[in-house]
Amino acid sequence: MRSKGKKLYVLLCAGFVCFYFYFFQDNLKQTEVPNTALSRPTIIPTQDRMFKVVDKQGVRKTFKDYCTARGKFHQQTPLIQNSVVNNTSFFSVIKRNKLALESRKNPLDFVPPVPEKTRTDVVPYFRPEILDHYLLLPNKTYEDRIAILTPIRNADRVLRNYLDNLINLDYPHSLISVYFGEDGSSDNTFTTAAKLSKELTDIYEFRAASVFHFNISHNVSVQETQLLSRHVLRKQLERRSKMAKSRNLLVNMVLNISNPDYVIWIDADLECFPSDLIEQLLFARSDVTAPPCLGVYGGVKKMYDRNCWRETPASVESQSKLPEESLVVEGYSNSDRIYLADLKAEGRVVPLDGVGGCVLMVRAECHRKGLVFPEELFQRHIETEGLAKLAKQMGYSVNGLPWLEVFHGKT
């Protein structure tokens, strides 16, 4: 009896060991990236700030400094186009999650394959050589005129940080105009934005900067815009329709008074974005371009904006069963789609079907020819996701840059 129990115990242990090795071994390894031996600093997640970095001399820097240091490397390397789709069974999701969590201490030296659909929102850290490989920029002179457009509502408390990020941009300030579109605020958003606009032109030599006020009636209260409850599903049609209206008013106004080649939409409440943001976006040579927007929670990088996605056969199939007049908003239940941050194994520029507005570049010509943010349903979508659907319908290219990460502030 006793020896039977022992045998059973040994068998169970052996089973567990086999199980562990079968499911948790590092067999996600698919896309090797050559070591380009460049000197990108190591990122160390911390609890207090977004995260800190240690450069080769061991100097601690804030993430912003790190962002600023980026883009100084001007060596062109070939891209790896290698999409490997694996299944998204329960165990492969656990494995993927585990790998991403562990990458905080051991940044990955390989690129996990693209999953069949996105099942986990944890985003891995990568070794500097890999980031360099996918983010190097050509050494060239830029001439494109850029208009940065930012809708703001009760954004007073985040505007100073936003200004700091704008000042950090490497792109020639003389080619950048900045326009804010404010409505529905109950704080000093308008006055602060006006003051900062003046700073941008007078001190930091931006081409132009100003703020417009629009009269838009709001059903979602200003208090609610600052709470997580703004994301409640039943409020999304109203909330995002008003956002679309604000964006459309702003871009119409700007195209009348200035003549940009590209407009770049940036939300004011981003914590930080890299200093080579504009050069990276231009690299895509696409009509509509977006990077993934992430957040860092206790050192763990997670997807924040779930609006940059690609349809899959399963997501198309499930939507085809919905009534025409239903609104599809991403991020509220399993949609069977693949999010941009999960498309890294495909390379530097990847096709998308939906985009978010945290950072979004649109060729100005597309807006001039009628590309808008749908204020009502367009193919069951609205606002930025609706814009992507409309852009594709109009024959424009819609792409994402999975390696270019921007970070949302704490909500």
Ligand X SMILES: Nc1nc2c(ncn2[C@@H]2O[C@H](COP(=O)(O)OP(=O)(O)O)[C@@H](O)[C@H]2O)c(=O)[nH]1
Pattern 5-44, binding to ligand X, x per CB under 6 A?
----------------------------------------
* CB of residue 225 to ligand X, shortest distance in Å: 5
* Pairwise CA distance, residues 95 & 296, whole Å: 20
Q: Give 260 or 331: the residue with its C-beta nearer to Mg ion.
A: 331
The answer to whether 100 and 124 have CB atoms below 8 angstroms apart is yes
Structure tokens at 61: 């820097």
- Chosen from Mg ion, ligand X, none, partner binding at 248 (C-beta under 5 to 8 Å by type): none
* CB of residue 126 to ligand X, shortest distance in Å: 25
CA-based torsion, 359, 356, 314, 22: positive or negative: positive
| Environment class of 144 (CB within 10 Å of its CB; exposed 0-12, middle 13-18, buried 19+) | middle
* CB of residue 140 to Mg ion, shortest distance in Å: 32
Q: Give 181 or 386: the residue with its C-beta nearer to ligand X.
A: 181
Q: Give 269 or 375: the residue with its C-beta nearer to Mg ion.
A: 269
Q: Which is it for strands 406-408 and 288-290: parallel, antiparallel or unpaired?
A: unpaired
- Chosen from ligand X, Mg ion, none, partner binding at 213 (C-beta under 5 to 8 Å by type): none
For Cα atoms 69, 65, 172, give the angle at the middle one, nearest 5 degrees: 55
CA-based torsion, 327, 328, 330, 334: positive or negative: positive
Regarding 146 and contact with ligand X (CB under 6 A), the answer is no
* CB of residue 379 to Mg ion, shortest distance in Å: 25
Residue 320's identity, in one-letter code, is S
Structure tokens at 71: 């883009």
- Chosen from ligand X, Mg ion, none, partner binding at 147 (C-beta under 5 to 8 Å by type): none
- Count of helix runs (H) and strand runs (E) in the chain: 12, 19
Of 152-160, 210-218, 263-271, 334-342, which part binds Mg ion (CB under 5 A)? Answer: 263-271
Pattern 159-198, binding to ligand X, x per CB under 6 A?
----------------------xxxx--------------
Of 33-41, 49-57, 152-160, 276-284, which part binds ligand X (CB under 6 A)? Answer: 152-160
Q: Following CA atoms 220, 222, 226, 229 in sequence, which dihedral angle do they give, to the nearest 10 degrees?
A: -30
Regarding 295 and contact with ligand X (CB under 6 A), the answer is no
Place of tokens 């200003």: 222
Regarding 383 and contact with Mg ion (CB under 5 A), the answer is no
The answer to whether 272 and 407 have CB atoms below 8 angstroms apart is yes
The answer to whether 179 and 166 have CB atoms below 8 angstroms apart is no
Regarding 271 and contact with Mg ion (CB under 5 A), the answer is no
Count the site residues for ligand X by CB under 6 A.
17
Regarding 363 and contact with ligand X (CB under 6 A), the answer is no
Binding residue (CB under 6 A) for ligand X from 95, 153, 207, 344: 153
Regarding 272 and contact with ligand X (CB under 6 A), the answer is no
* CB of residue 314 to ligand X, shortest distance in Å: 25
Q: Which is it for strands 262-266 and 146-152: parallel, antiparallel or unpaired?
A: parallel
Binding residue (CB under 5 A) for Mg ion from 116, 182, 183, 269: 269
Regarding 132 and contact with ligand X (CB under 6 A), the answer is no
Regarding 152 and contact with ligand X (CB under 6 A), the answer is yes
- Chosen from ligand X, Mg ion, none, partner binding at 242 (C-beta under 5 to 8 Å by type): ligand X
The answer to whether 336 and 315 have CB atoms below 8 angstroms apart is yes
The answer to whether 262 and 353 have CB atoms below 8 angstroms apart is no
DSSP string, 353-391: SB--SSEEEEEHHHHHTT----SS-BTTB-HHHHHHHHH
Coil/strand/helix, residue 279: helix
* CB of residue 33 to ligand X, shortest distance in Å: 32
> Could you list the residues that contact ligand X (CB under 6 A)?
150-153, 155, 181-184, 225, 230, 242-243, 246, 267-269
> Could you list the residues that contact Mg ion (CB under 5 A)?
267, 269
